[in-house]
């Protein structure tokens, strides 16, 4: 395997993937979809759950969708294939979104409108309140994802390349281009809440650090965990500081969130948003924890040699060439590591020099 850590994980479906516009059944009433993304990370996994809910005219059989894909014509066309061939003629009853990032919520408004009918009632969005509000704000102004404020924030942290900063400024509608609208009504998901889906209990697990209030879903009866982006099998989850919360310290929040998932059974089949379904949740949590411990050590070693800005740390933390999309995520993650170590009392910020914030080791 390309990643030797994968030897500690098991992929029950091996290399089998659902083709765009089709699905694979993973458990009774649980189907896996895969949609394309216009990034280097070129796909997102979405989920269909067979469901039954009470509508205005009695009980209605249908489906719950978990996560949506970005708002573009390719993804809409893939969904139309799903509707035609994979639903058995039944409607979509609700749309559950794990968090507010564009690949997860982008088509929520379109899906809810598409499936709101007089017979079945309103197809409602279900999401945490924090992420619903964050998505609504971001779809109206791309704060944190591009524009002047993001460019100034990255410049403060050492990204001084004029071409890169100009591209960040130009992305003033970056989020809205993939999430043009967010449903104006929603049903709130809370940590510990139980969704009953076709007689099965799905427990909401709130997680922090990657998104404001990410909701994963665990079904004990099926030994399944829809992990969203909190636990991914091949890549580490992005944990970033962005300009709207410039002093944030999200990395300890993320690590505590995934540590809490150790209480789930070892046999749990993890359904991640990227990569393939796998077992080995406990091993993967250990890998991710070790990964960040190693990155902490890399940052400390670099800052012991000389003060570093977040931009200075990009080649330390990321050993590959980054495009602009990846660079913005990498900057946020480098800042997150600096803030975590400063919060632990192992680094301190120096007075601004040349308008750039740098950190040095303490002691």
pLDDT tens-digit readout, 54-75:
888 889 999 999 999 999 999 9
Return the half-sphere exposure (C-beta side, CA atoms, 13 A cut-off) of residue 321.
1
Q: How much is the pLDDT for 1?
A: 40
Reference 149, options 171, 133, 122; nearest CA is 171
Mean pLDDT, the chain, rounded, equals 95
DSSP one-letter string for 57-90? TEEEEEEEEE----SSHHHHHHHHHHHHHTSTTP
Query: Does the model's pTM come out above 0.85?
Result: yes
- The 10 Å CB-count burial string (b at 16+, else e) for 288-310 is beeebeebbeebbebbeeebbbb
pLDDT in tens, 279-306: 999 999 999 999 999 999 999 999 999 9
SS (H, E, C) 285-318: HHHHHHHHHHHHHHHHHHHHHCCECHHHHHHHHC
Fold of 4-281: Metallo-beta-lactamase; Chain A (3.60.15)
Question: Residue 120 has what pLDDT?
Answer: 62
Count Cβ atoms below 10 Å from residue 76 Cβ, excluding itself.
15
How many residues would you count in the chain?
363
Low-confidence ranges of the chain (pLDDT < 50): 1
Per-residue tokens: 205: 């697990």
Q: What count of Cα atoms within 13 Å lies in the side-chain half-sphere of residue 247?
A: 2
- pLDDT tens by residue, 134-181: 999 999 876 667 899 999 999 999 999 999 999 999 988 889 999 999
Q: Say whether 348 sits in a helix, a strand or coil.
A: strand
Token pair 């924890």 in the structure block, residue: 289
Integer angstrom CA distances of residue 190 from 52, 128, 201, 214, 264 = 21, 6, 14, 10, 18
Strand segments, DSSP code E, in the chain are 24-27, 30-36, 43-55, 58-66, 92-96, 124-127, 186-188, 194-197, 200-207, 214-219, 224-228, 269-272, 347-349, 359-361
pLDDT at residue 327, as a whole number = 93
For residue 165, which phi and psi values (nearest 5 degrees)?
-65, -35
- Both tokens of 170, joined, read 């130009």
């Amino acid at each position: 395997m390309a990643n030797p850590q994968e030897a500690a994980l098991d992929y029950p479906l091996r290399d089998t993937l659902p083709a765009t516009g089709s699905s694979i059944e993973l458990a009774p009433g649980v189907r896996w979809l895969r949609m394309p993304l216009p990034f280097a990370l070129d796909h997102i996994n979405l989920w269909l759950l067979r469901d039954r809910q009470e509508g205005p005219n009695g009980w209605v059989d249908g489906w719950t969708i978990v996560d949506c894909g970005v708002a573009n014509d390719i993804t809409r066309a893939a969904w139309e294939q799903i509707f035609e061939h994979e639903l058995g003629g039944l409607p979509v009853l609700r749309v559950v979104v794990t968090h507010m990032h564009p690949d997860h919520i982008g088509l929520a408004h379109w899906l809810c409108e598409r499936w709101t009918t007089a017979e079945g009632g309103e197809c409602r969005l279900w999401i945490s309140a924090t992420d619903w509000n964050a998505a609504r704000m971001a779809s109206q102004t791309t704060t944190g994802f591009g524009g002047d404020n993001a460019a100034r924030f990255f410049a403060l942290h050492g990204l001084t390349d004029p071409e890169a900063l100009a591209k960040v400024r130009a992305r003033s509608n970056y989020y809205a281009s993939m999430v043009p609208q967010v449903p104006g009504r929603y049903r709130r998901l809370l940590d510990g809440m139980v969704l009953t889906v076709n007689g099965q209990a799905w427990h909401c697990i709130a997680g922090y650090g990657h998104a404001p209030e990410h909701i994963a879903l665990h079904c004990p009866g099926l030994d399944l965990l829809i992990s969203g982006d909190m636990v991914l099998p091949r890549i580490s989850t992005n944990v970033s500081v962005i300009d709207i919360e410039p002093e944030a310290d999200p990395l300890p929040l993320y690590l505590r969130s995934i540590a809490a998932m150790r209480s789930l059974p070892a046999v749990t089949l993890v359904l991640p948003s990227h990569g393939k379904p796998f077992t080995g949740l406990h091993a993967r949590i250990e890998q991710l924890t070790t990964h960040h411990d190693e990155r902490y050590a890399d940052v400390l070693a670099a800052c012991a040699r000389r003060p570093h800005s977040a931009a200075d740390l990009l080649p330390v933390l990321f050993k590959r060439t980054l495009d602009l999309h990846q660079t913005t995520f990498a900057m946020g993650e480098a800042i997150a590591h600096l803030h975590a170590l400063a919060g632990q009392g192992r680094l301190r910020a120096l007075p601004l020099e040349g308008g750039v914030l740098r950190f040095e080791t303490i002691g």
